[in-house]
Amino acid sequence: MSIQSQELISMAISAQKTRQFYAAYPENPKAYPEEANQQGLEAFQKTLNQDFTELAENAHSQRVGSEISPYMQVGLGVRYASYSAEDLIKYAQEAAPAWKKTTADQRAAVLVDSLNRISTRFFEIAYATMHTTGQSFVMSFQASGPHANDRALEVVSLAWEELSRFATELDWIKPMGKFDLKIRKTFQAIPRGIGLVIGCSTFPTWNTVPGLYANLMAGNPVIVKPHPKAILPIAIVVAEIQKALQAAGLPANLVQLAPDTLENPITKQLAEHPAVKCIDYTGGSAFGDYIEELKGKTTFTEKAGVNSVILDSVKDADPVFGNIAFSACLYSGQMCTAPQNIFVPENGINTANGPLTFEEVVERISGAVKGLVENPKMGPFTLGAIQNEMTVNRVDAAKKGARVALDSIPVVHPEFPDARMKSPVVMVTEAANTTLWKQECFGPALVVVKTKSNAESLELAAKAAEELGAITCLCYSTDHSFATEVAEQMNAAFTPVSFNFTGAAFVNQHAAFSDFHVTGGNPSGNAGFTNPEYVNKRFVWVGNRYAE
């Protein structure tokens, strides 16, 4: 490993141990060359209505591609080489021996090289993400570029440390009195087998690269099965990994892209194949449950959850409601970390300026959302566009079971008048109406739930996390004892809590090297980014002993 790569790995390991802020790749687009943005846009535009030929291609009979820009409402026209599940497995198996023989140092060096290559294409990846997911440009740049790279580096460094934990060769000596028993011992981390990483439509790189890089560091060849509606961003990433592998004299097929269509999916064929041993999945709970139940597989899932806000008491109400509004509006709530249910006692909440009734809380939340959405400089760019029309239909259906305090406000994007946009709907219901709030309503929706007390608010939020899963919880309370109780009960349901967030701190955002993303302890998923278990389960330590 080069000195530069070793230093990067060391800094990443140090950050993980201290949990302090660290970013190897700056998130501000202005930190990159001035011409990079325009070059990235032009590179993206050149891919439209073309065959994507950057990947190392094997013999194939067809190309597929059905991505549609949520902003322009037209197809991208990008076509990718398509392969059968059996061919993908065969190519992975042929490439596997060479990668298995490489050391942890060599793997890390290749993967760090790939991340540096990817960083030169952050702007191109940003436009690809924007026009497949509907994220705003800034979010697309940050989430699919620097943040994704940081998550990948986090996994590479963690896996490198775990693979370096034990001696790999030694002379074991046991004193036996008149003689010593000497045994030569060797220890190897044996890769489990082919890894399958199943991507999602909303965060095609950020959610994909942790499993991709964890498998590679463990020595497993990887098949990346992207969502049919969001292929291009991860295709660019896979292409750069292949280039790094080839530059090191290794087979490109150690990483393969497996594009398919909604009409002819190959996910189950791959997942059920006996050669596939590790599966990473991000998406809905139904398919996630299927993945978890597959026998003979080691699975890492991130599924649906119902995230709660517990409103008890606040110092200054305006920053609180503004923070909640922004968290709900960010990417129109199409984030697994976005808040959904806001539990408010029927007697209202206390503030430093006097109490607010329940109805005043509803009014202030609605007003904060409305104010942000109607701000021409913030609204369209915070909301982004809706990736899937089913998200709009889901929210519209949910409205029928609630009192609507704020309906969706028409928003026109100044750059893309045809963009599919929908601002958050604020709904109000009683706690007894579990049909409405006790299920995930992924997308632009907030449900204010009236409870009897802050104790019931906590009870309902904790039960929802335990039964349905939750990735985040947001709590506002000036009462230290109540906040302590919230932490204890929500943590017991394996859900982290963010307390009294205002300003630039938002519950949606998880930082690499510091925040664990999904705990793996409740139904929202069985694994988390990123702890030792996330990498250790992808390989097996095996020891051999040799007598003199």
Going from the C-alpha of 296 to that of each of 62, 115, 299, 491, the distances in angstroms are: 32, 32, 10, 31
Q: Tell me what pLDDT residue 401 has.
A: 82
How many CB atoms within 10 Å of residue 57? 15
Residue 296 located in a structural domain: yes
329 and 287, same domain (yes or no) = no
Which of 512, 510, 513, 486 lies closest to 497 in space, CA to CA?
486
Residue 514 located in a structural domain: no
The amino acid at 330: L
320 and 224, same domain (yes or no) = no
d(C-alpha 40, C-alpha 35), whole Å: 9
Helix (H, G, I), strand (E, B) or coil at 476: strand
Which of 514, 182, 460 lies closest to 308 in space, CA to CA?
460
Size of the chain in residues: 548
Torsion sign, CA atoms 127, 132, 134, 139 = negative
87 and 234, same domain (yes or no) = yes
Asked if residues 166 and 187 have their Cβ atoms less than 8 Å apart, the reply is yes
The pair of three-digit structure tokens given for residue 457, joined into one six-digit string: 């608010």
Residue 290 located in a structural domain: yes
Phi, psi (deg, nearest 5) at residue 543: -115, 145
d(C-alpha 528, C-alpha 496), whole Å: 12
354 and 256, same domain (yes or no) = no
Query: How many CA within 13 A on the CB side of residue 499?
Result: 15
252 and 370, same domain (yes or no) = no
- Residue found by looking up tokens 């436009």 in the block: 127
d(C-alpha 516, C-alpha 202), whole Å: 20
Long-range contacts of 282-290 (CB under 8 A, 24+ apart): 282/198, 282/199, 282/200, 282/203, 282/207, 282/208, 282/336, 283/198, 283/200, 283/227, 285/440, 285/469, 285/523, 288/525
264 and 336, same domain (yes or no) = no
Q: What is the CATH number of the domain that holds 207?
A: 3.40.605.10
d(C-alpha 248, C-alpha 314), whole Å: 56
The pair of three-digit structure tokens given for residue 455, joined into one six-digit string: 């104790």
Q: Tell me what pLDDT residue 548 has.
A: 74
Residue 401 located in a structural domain: yes
Domain count across the chain? 2
Residue 159 located in a structural domain: yes
In sequence order, what DSSP letters do the residues of 210-242 get, joined into one string? HHHHHHHHHT--EEEE--TTS-HHHHHHHHHHH
Torsion sign, CA atoms 104, 105, 108, 110 = negative
Asked if residues 15 and 23 have their Cβ atoms less than 8 Å apart, the reply is no
pTM over 0.85: yes
Q: Tell me what pLDDT residue 5 has.
A: 84
- Residue found by looking up tokens 């011992």 in the block: 185
Which of 441, 494, 499, 448 lies closest to 469 in space, CA to CA?
494
Query: How many CA within 13 A on the CB side of residue 513?
Result: 26
The pair of three-digit structure tokens given for residue 380, joined into one six-digit string: 């369209």
pLDDT, tens digit (0-9, with 9 covering 90-100), for 88-104: 999 999 999 999 999 99
Domain end position, chosen among 303, 329, 352? 303
Asked if residues 172 and 183 have their Cβ atoms less than 8 Å apart, the reply is yes
Which of 534, 517, 541 lies closest to 215 in space, CA to CA?
534
Asked if residues 113 and 244 have their Cβ atoms less than 8 Å apart, the reply is yes
191 and 58, same domain (yes or no) = yes
Residue 543 located in a structural domain: no
332 and 296, same domain (yes or no) = no
The pair of three-digit structure tokens given for residue 131, joined into one six-digit string: 């026009």
**Exposure class string for 316-347: b at 16+ Cβ within 10 A, else e:** ebeebbbbbbbbbbbbbbbbbbbbbbbbbbee
402 and 289, same domain (yes or no) = no
d(C-alpha 114, C-alpha 117), whole Å: 5
Q: Tell me what pLDDT residue 4 has.
A: 82
Q: Tell me what pLDDT residue 3 has.
A: 81
Torsion sign, CA atoms 275, 280, 281, 285 = positive
pLDDT, tens digit (0-9, with 9 covering 90-100), for 269-316: 999 999 999 999 999 999 999 999 999 999 999 998 999 999 999 999
Q: Tell me what pLDDT residue 413 has.
A: 96
Cβ neighbourhood burial of 224 (10 Å; 0-12, 13-18, 19+): buried
Residue 1 located in a structural domain: no
Q: Tell me what pLDDT residue 501 has.
A: 97
Q: Tell me what pLDDT residue 532 has.
A: 95
Q: Tell me what pLDDT residue 2 has.
A: 80
| CA 456 distance to own-chain centroid | 31
Residue 527 located in a structural domain: no
Domain end position, chosen among 303, 335, 365? 303
469 and 334, same domain (yes or no) = yes
Domain end position, chosen among 252, 271, 303? 303
- Residue found by looking up tokens 């503030």 in the block: 351
Q: What is the CATH number of the domain that holds 367?
A: 3.40.309.10
Residues of the chain with pLDDT under 70: none
Q: Tell me what pLDDT residue 343 has.
A: 98
Domain limits for position 228: 17-303
- N-term to C-term CA, the chain: 34
Phi, psi (deg, nearest 5) at residue 433: -85, 65
213 and 335, same domain (yes or no) = no
331 and 477, same domain (yes or no) = yes
d(C-alpha 343, C-alpha 322), whole Å: 17
